[in-house]
Amino acid sequence: MQFIRGLLFFFVFIGLNEVLMAEPIMCDPSQKILVKMKVSIQEPILMDLEGKGIDKLTITPAKDSFWGKTFPVEDETEICLYDEGDPLTMALQEGLLVTYPVGCDQYKVYAFCQMDSVNLNGELPKEVILYLNPTLDQCRIEVCDTQCP
């Protein structure tokens, strides 16, 4: 009986040791990912935009404008961003421009938003919230959940 207990302890110890010594997860940065972005706009900002006649905004990466998403000016609007993990994550970290149209193919920058400096531990964003409040320089992107497809 003592031998069986010793053997059982040995296998449990080996199993736990492998779990504790496991390498951290590293996602493939070239993997396509889907990021759900919720846009949070407070009432004073909504009224300001409405007063200017702006009913749609567009977000694009500030550095490399290789995509853009247009959305209605409403609180709690949800946007889905789909791209390779590394370029999309870098765009969120480097910042997004929030713009509105002022003419034929011309846009004016309303805000610049960046992802909070957070350590993603090798994972990629899955759900984020964009808090739009440019008047107080508080336009930021918060990571709510991560993924590793």
Please report the DSSP string for the chain in residue order.
Answer: -HHHHHHHHHHHHHHHHHHHTPPPP---TTSEEEEEEEEEE-HHHHHHHHHTT--EEEEEESS--S--EEEES-TTEEEEEEEEHHHHHHHHHH-EEEEEEEETTEEEEEEEEEE-----TT-EEEEEEEEE-GGGT--EEEEEEEE--
> How confident is residue 16, by pLDDT bands cut at 50, 70 and 90?
very low
Q: Which residue has the tokens 């300001």?
A: 48
Give the tokens for residue 146: 């991560």
Compute the average pLDDT of residues 47-76: 92
Distance CA 24, CA 95 (A): 27
The predicted structure's pLDDT at residue 64: 80
Q: What is the arithmetic mean of pLDDT over 3-29?
A: 56
Q: Tell me whether residue 16 is in a domain.
A: no
- pLDDT at residue 19, rounded to an integer: 43
Task: Give the N- to C-terminal CA distance of the chain in Å, as an integer.
Answer: 45
Would 113 be classed as within a structural domain? yes
Considering the domain boundaries, does residue 22 fall inside one?
no
User: Would you say residue 8 lies in a domain?
Assistant: no
For the cut 80, the answer to whether the pLDDT of residue 18 exceeds it is no
Residue 7 inside a domain? The answer is: no
42: containing domain = 28-147
- Reported residue count of the chain is 149
- Residues 120-149 have pLDDT tens digits of 888 899 999 999 987 766 789 999 999 987
Query: For a pLDDT cut of 70, what percent of the chain falls above it?
Result: 80
Give residue for tokens 């993924």. 147
Q: What is the pTM of this model?
A: 0.77
Q: How many CB atoms lie within 10 A of CB 41?
A: 19
pLDDT attached to residue 13? 52
| Residue 69's pLDDT band (cuts 50, 70, 90) | very high
Is residue 39 included in any domain, yes or no? yes
pLDDT, tens only, 78-114: 999 999 988 998 999 999 999 999 988 889 999 999 9
Q: What is the model's pLDDT at position 20?
A: 46
Total structural domains within the chain = 1
